[in-house]
Amino acid sequence: MNSIPARGTAAAAEAGLVRARKSRVAERFLPLLMVLPSLAAIAIFVYGFIAWTGYVSLSDWNTLVKNLSFAGLQNYAFLFQDFRFQADLRNTIFFTVLFIAATMAIGIFLAMMVDQKIRAESFFRNVFIFPMALSFVVTGVVWQWMLNPSTGVNLILKAIGIANVPQWYTSTDIVPKLPLGQIDFGLPVALIAVVIATVWQQSGFAMAMYLAGLRGISEDLREAARVDGAGEAQIFFKVILPQLKPVTVSLVIILAHISLKIFDLVYAMTGPGSAFVTDVPGVYMFETTFRGNHYGQGAAIAIIMLLLVSLLIIPYLYKSLRKEE
């Protein structure tokens, strides 16, 4: 008679173990099932399209008629021998350097000013960061009017007696104009106008990042440096800047990513420009693919842009993962 309750207890215990095992399996696979749709979408619409673009870049599809016959590196060889693409690479180098340097310099200056516990601090923060609320297209159109040689800023310069006003984005001058391949290597003067517009929009973002970094630096470090006899300049370069290194690295990665793939601001403000002095790979890719119907060459430009961005992003991600480990 006592065996019946014993068998019931064993069965109940076994059922409990089964339920617990099923619960653990559900806990393990439920999160995966939740993110599976997103993973599938990323696999198809990001990595799948990247793979397709790479495949098209190796094809001979350069007309309206679809032709996916293998062409090897023919499209890439054409680009690196092309005057316009060489000019684009030159413009990208100078634009990236000027854009990052000016944005970071203005950003840290504004952050230092706002960090002085000034009155109406929130007002100035909003004013400086407001341009980020605008699209690059709007920024391009506004600055196109402001830097037009016949209107905008030049009217003010003429009013105060400056006769030789800048030509801004219509200039074709290149400084110092060193022959290299099919192009003159140097800074296209017209590109400065594009840099000004881009810096105006992104410097508020740099200010916000640097301001967050400054607020994370203990005031005790600065006071200790002052007690040791350090001046404000020494405190800035020896105490503050080293503490802001993580912010600076992140900012360089983000700004370089923006500069390497910029399209809409340049397209709205100047377009390729005379002799392609303001052209960038993004504009060239758009016109090659959707206006010239050279899909293989357009895909090759896209892959080169991806590789340029990857040269910055992958080392940063690798270093971040190593640091976490």
Residue 256 lies in a domain: yes
- Tens of pLDDT along 205-243? 999 999 999 988 888 888 888 888 888 888 888 888 989
The helix or strand, by DSSP H or E, that contains position 250, with its residue range, turns out to be helix 245-260
For residue 140, give the CATH number of its domain.
1.10.3720.10
Whole-model pTM: value is 0.86
Would 29 be classed as within a structural domain? no
Contacts of 183 (CB under 8 A, 6+ apart): 83, 86, 87, 90
Residue 110 lies in a domain: yes
CA–CA separation, 219 and 217 (whole Å): 6
The CA distance from 18 to 51, in Å, is 44
Kindly report whether the peptide bond that precedes residue 31 is cis, defined as omega within 30 degrees of 0: no
Q: Is residue 10 part of a domain?
A: no
Does residue 168 fall inside a structural domain?
yes
Please tell me the predicted confidence (pLDDT) of residue 236. 87
pLDDT attached to residue 79: 95
* Residue 279 resides in a domain: yes
Instruction: Give me the torsion for CA of 101, 103, 107, 110, rounded to 10°.
Output: 100
What range does the domain containing 275 cover?
A: 82-324
Phi then psi for residue 178, to 5 deg, are -100, 125
Ranges in the chain, pLDDT < 70: 1-23, 25-26, 324-325
Q: What pLDDT is attached to residue 23? A: 67
Provide the domain count of the chain. Answer: 1
pLDDT for the residue numbered 90? 96
Q: Is the dihedral of CA 105, 106, 107, 108 positive or negative?
A: positive
On whether residue 67 sits in a domain, the answer given is no
Per-residue confidence (pLDDT) for residue 36, from 0 to 100: 87
Residue labelled with tokens 């105060």? 160
The residues, any chain, with a CB within 8 Å of residue 162's CB and separated by 6 or more, are none
* 39 within some domain: no
Spatial contact of 266 and 194, defined as CB atoms under 8 Å apart: yes
The string of pLDDT tens digits covering residues 9-24 is 666 666 666 666 666 7
What is the C-alpha R_g of the chain? 28
Question: So what's the pLDDT on residue 263?
Answer: 94
* pLDDT value of position 1: 46
pLDDT the model gives residue 61: 93
Contact 122, 215 (CB under 8 A): no
